[in-house]
Amino acid sequence: MHNLENGYTLRDMTAEEFHAAYVAKHAEYFKTSLIVDVTSHLSDEERQLAQVRSEAFPKAWRMQWALEHDGVLIGWTFGYQVDHETLYMCNTAIDAAHRGKGLYTRILAHVLEHAQALGFQLVTSKHYASNNAVLVPKLKSGFIITSLALDDKYGLMVHLTKYMDPEREANAIRRIGETR
C-alpha cells in the first residue's frame, strides 16, 4: 500500500478487481472519449481467431493499483510490461470529485519509483493530444514526446517516454534535435 496523504492510498488490485472496477466506471471516466469499435465488422470466425491470439499472448507483468480515499475506490492506475525494458502506463482514472488535487502527479511519482525499482528502463504512455490534465504532469516529471500517431480507434495520440537513465534520456533528446 502507498500512502498519498490526506486519506488517499494506492493498493494492489487483482486483475479481476481491476476488470470489475473498469467495467463499472468506464462510462463515467471516459464519457468524452471518442473511441471507435474497430472490431464491429469482424465475423464470428475472425472474433474467435482474435480471441485465440489474445490467449496465446504471453502474460507479462501487470500493475493494477486501486486509488482509494478513506477506503473507498475512487480510481485506479493500470500498466503492463511490453518488453524486457518497457512499462506501458495504459490507464489512470480518478473520480471527478477528486480531480485537481495533485493526485495524478503523486500517483505518477509512485509508478516511476516502482518501475525503476523493478529495473524498467522506459515508461511509456499515449494520450489524446488535448489531454492536458495528463500531458502537463508527465512532461513536468521528465517524459518527452517521442511520437504523434493517428490511431484508427482513438484518434490523434501523443506518445510519451520517460527514460529512467539520464544518459539514455540525454541521447534521446539529442536524437530529436534538442539540447538541454
pLDDT tens digit sequence for 41-78: 778 998 888 888 877 776 788 999 999 999 999 999 99
pLDDT at 10: 95
pLDDT at 112: 97
The answer to whether residue 147 is domain-embedded is yes
pLDDT at 147: 95
Domain extent for 31? 2-175
**Cα separation, 135 vs 145, whole angstroms:** 9
Q: What percent of the chain has pLDDT over 70?
A: 96
Is the model more confident about 154 or about 180? 154
pLDDT at 153: 87
- Burial annotation 82-103 (CB, 10 A radius, 16+ → b, else e): eeeebbbbbbbbbbeeeeeeeb
pLDDT at 38: 65
The answer to whether residue 26 is domain-embedded is yes
Residue 31 reports pLDDT greater than 90: no
pLDDT at 36: 65
The answer to whether residue 180 is domain-embedded is no
pLDDT at 29: 84
Predicted TM-score (pTM) of this structure? 0.83
pLDDT at 113: 96
When pLDDT is averaged across residues 148-167 and rounded to a whole number, the result is 94
The answer to whether residue 160 is domain-embedded is yes
Query: Residue 15 belongs to a domain with what CATH number?
Result: 3.40.630.30
The answer to whether residue 29 is domain-embedded is yes
Counting the structural domains of the chain, the total is 1
Tell me: the pLDDT tens digits for 9-26? Answer: 999 999 899 999 998 998
When pLDDT is averaged across residues 84-98 and rounded to a whole number, the result is 95
The answer to whether residue 146 is domain-embedded is yes
Residue 8 reports pLDDT greater than 90: yes
